[in-house]
Structure 1
Amino acid sequence: MGKKVRIAAEDEVPTGSAGEFVVEDQVIALFHVDQQYYAMDGVCPHAGGPLGEGTLNGTIVTCPWHGWQFDVTSGQHCLNQRLCHPTFPVFVEDDGIYIELPE
């Protein structure tokens, strides 16, 4: 098991939206879709775009810089099956939203 770290309060990311957070020097994109939270590396692998500032349509986030798209539930790139962006387990507790970072 990795290191569990608080990332945000629940009200910081309303349903259907995304947020960008820095956790231990790493940019994390946090998404709230259908009463579930999903977290992934917040830096697009194409050119470093901010995925947490991208457009969220259902479970698909579109990078605002060059349009790369990922499924936030799995990190899977929408066009290239060989490309899967890192995701993190998410836990909701009484005092906020936590993610698990690898140790």
Structure 2
Amino acid sequence: MARVSDIPVGKHRLVQVGGRAIGIYNVGGTFRALADRCPHQGASLCGGEVVSSIEADAPGEFRFDPNRKFVTCPWHGWEFELETGQSWFDPELTRARRFNVAVEHGEQIVSALHGDPAQGRVRGPYVAEVVQVDTDDDYVVVTTPR
């Protein structure tokens, strides 16, 4: 448990609840909580950075969403949405870039394979545990399942 004033907007705090480490994040005055364990390989998510969503359909065309927040795993960079715990990744950054190669009239034609650029991030295989958090008389109250 912590006071609301103990976790300023844009900050987080690591607490112990029932012997479990839980990160409480203040996202614009709304509190989110995730178990402080990356489901990929167990890193402390509180050791990662909180970032906003930035997407692009084409070079130079950026959409910034300051309200959609992710915490990045400090070990491997997996991004977990603070609201849902769902992992997301940019497939262009997490694998080697692939090329199609064709031969026509003695020339080699190479073109990059891109997925649907409108999709931006791709849903990952991991989901961080989301923990219910409420405020009561200016205290942040974390509720864990029994």
* TM-score, scaled to structure 2: 0.61
Q: Does 1:20 align with 2:63?
A: no
More strand by share: 2
Equivalent pairs, count = 97
CA deviation vs aligned residue, 1:32-60 (integer Å, no higher than 9, x gap) = 11110000111112222111221011311
Q: Partner of 1:61 in structure 2?
A: 71
The answer on whether the counterparts of 1:20 and 1:53 sit within 8 Å (CA) in structure 2 is no
- 1:88–1:100 Cα contact (<8 Å) kept: yes
Amino acid at match of 1:101: T
Match of 1:3 in 2: none
* Structure 1: stretches of 5+ with no match in the other structure: 1-6
- Secondary structure at the aligned position of 1:52 is classed as helix
What is aligned with 2:127?
84
SS at match of 1:78: strand
Alpha-carbon distance between aligned partners in 1 of 2:49 and 2:83, rounded to the nearest angstrom? 15
Q: Partners in 1 of 2:28 and 2:74 — Cα distance?
A: 22
Bigger relative CO (Cα 8 Å, ≥ 6 apart): 1
* Conservation of the 8 A alpha-carbon contact between 1:13 and 1:32: yes
Calculate the TM-score normalised by the size of structure 1. Answer: 0.84
- Tell me what 1:32 maps to: 26
**Structure 2: gaps (5+ residues):** 53-68, 90-122
Amino acid aligned to 2:126: L
Q: Which residue of 2 aligns with 1:96?
A: 139
Distance (Å, rounded) in 1 between the aligned partners of 2:128 and 2:8: 23
Aligned-pair identity in percent equals 29
- Distance, in Å, in 2 between the alignment partners of 1:63 and 1:81 is 13
